[in-house]
Amino acid sequence: MHHLAVLAAACLACLLSAPAVRAQTPVATQEGYAYCSVTDTGSAQARIWASPSFAFRYRSDDPGGFQRLNAIAGDFLAQVNALGGAGTKTCEYAASRADADAARAQHRAIWDKRVYFVKIGDWREVPWTPAPWDPAREAAVPAQLTRYFTCSAVQTDVPGRVARSRALGSQVFSVDVPGNEPASMYTRALAYAVEFKAVALAHGVADVNPNCIPFDTRAEADKSLRDQRRLLDGFNQDYQEIAWTPSLTTPAASGDGASVSSGMASTAPLASNVPMTSKAAATATSKPHSESPSPSESPPEPPSPSASASATAPVAASVQPAATGHDAALYCAAFVSRTKPTATSWRAPAQAQSDASTEPTRLAATLARYLQSVQQANPGKWFELKPATCYPNNAVFAGETFCFTAEYKHFGGMQSAGMFCNASREQIDKRVLDMAKADGGHAQVVAWPQ
């Protein structure tokens, strides 16, 4: 009996210690570099709070450190809030500290420019770095995350010149997104922009590319909406605001996806890559990524990877997973668009890539080569777009990876490039059909470079 008691005690000790052993299993991480900023466009002179560049670590299963940088951006915004500031938060990822410093210097140079001898931005240094981070101590990810959105459409070429601008804005609305895919708030924003275009047209705002922006918190969304009102509801400006929510609250959880624009001609951050919480598309984005314009000048969102589903659950585990770096095949379809001098878009057909890796930098390089081929075949004033940001898009099409980059200039309009990749030929064919539906067959087909 004594032996049984000892054995039972030993088994109990094993059971109790098992979680501790698992918790001590090292989590694979990678190192990256970044700097963060918060931009407040709520006054005549924009205010920008910026951190120094810093090194940070992120989980190896977090492409480009997207989720980690999103959390860091939130921490930096809290620091700025404590200093009395508010605005749009972004963190820009870089492969080295030198690259981060260079991007930061370029960012500051933009805001240091002068108009009538006055700087357009008030740049404020914030001596801040992220707190130490232990991936093993991260809190469990909730099944659902609540995110907040605003949508707007602005028409500046008003017939008869009866007003300087005509605009329609939505009030803030909330949507739950899968906790394991926080980046899906961007794909949802893209879908909402597609739907909002018809709403804008019904309210007399025509020939525009609507912009829907996602936010992590209600406070950020409310701040953006206040700034939007200030910029669009002024002298000789026709501004309407409606209580609107999209009819499609979750895009393509079934894996069938929905309408997607092949370019900016029908939808459109984020400014230079997808940013960490609001504009840009990028941010993107808008975007970790470059500076977003003010609400009245915000670029339209990148082409919507979705627009017509209604389920709320994430993709079932039985669906084919995303490709890995050693998969036998990877199929990609791409698009390029610009809004000036006329809204034009180009599209590449689905094609198996010679490099089947889904490593973000390789995918970004593939998209860059296609963008270059489109630019060479269509001379004109092209921007120098930053490398695309790539992230899993499983909430839209099972196994899909979405890459996007864009830049907006007040007088140059919006230019963007994006790419959808999938190890499943069936899924990428569905994506291409949706792209064709969205652009109405007007996109010019340009083959992949040889």
CB of 221 closer than 8 Å to CB of 150: yes
Q: Is the pTM of this model over 0.75?
A: no
Which tens digit of pLDDT belongs to each residue from 271-319? 333 333 333 333 333 333 333 333 333 333 333 333 332 222 222 222 3
335-350 average pLDDT score = 87
CB of 24 closer than 8 Å to CB of 136: yes
Q: Where are the domains of the chain?
A: 29-132, 143-309+325-450
- Provide the pLDDT confidence category of residue 21 given band limits of 50, 70 and 90: very low
Distances in Å between the alpha carbon of 350 and those of 32, 34, 92, 191, 357? 32, 34, 30, 21, 16
Per-residue pLDDT at 74: 96
Per-residue pLDDT at 265: 28
Per-residue pLDDT at 50: 97
Among the residue ranges 117-121, 204-208, 330-334, 410-414, the one predicted with the least confidence is 410-414
Is the pLDDT at 205 greater than 50, yes or no?
A: yes
Burial class (CB in 10 A: 0-12, 13-18, 19+), 293: buried
Is the pLDDT at 207 greater than 80, yes or no?
A: no
pLDDT: which is higher, 183 or 72: 72
Task: Pinpoint the alpha helices (H) of 92-175.
Answer: 97-111
Per-residue pLDDT at 13: 42
Place of tokens 């459409």: 153
Burial class (CB in 10 A: 0-12, 13-18, 19+), 168: buried
52-71 average pLDDT score = 89
Per-residue pLDDT at 328: 61
Percent of the chain clearing pLDDT 90 (strictly above): 38
- Provide the pLDDT confidence category of residue 344 given band limits of 50, 70 and 90: confident
Is the pLDDT at 9 greater than 60, yes or no?
A: no
Compute the mean pLDDT over every residue in the chain, rounded to the nearest whole number. Answer: 76
Which tens digit of pLDDT belongs to each residue from 62-121? 877 888 999 999 999 999 999 999 999 999 988 899 999 999 998 998 888 887 677 888
CB of 135 closer than 8 Å to CB of 29: yes
Cα separation, 36 vs 73, whole angstroms:
6
pLDDT: which is higher, 356 or 117: 356
266-272 average pLDDT score = 30
DSSP sequence for 160-221? GG-SSEEEEEEPPEEEEEETT-TTHHHHHHHHHHHHHHHHHHHTT--S---EEEEESSHHHH
Per-residue pLDDT at 311: 27
Which tens digit of pLDDT belongs to each residue from 242-257? 999 998 544 443 333 3
Among the residue ranges 108-112, 192-196, 280-284, 411-415, the one predicted with the least confidence is 280-284
CB atoms within 10 A of CB 143: 12
Per-residue pLDDT at 410: 62
Cα separation, 57 vs 172, whole angstroms:
34
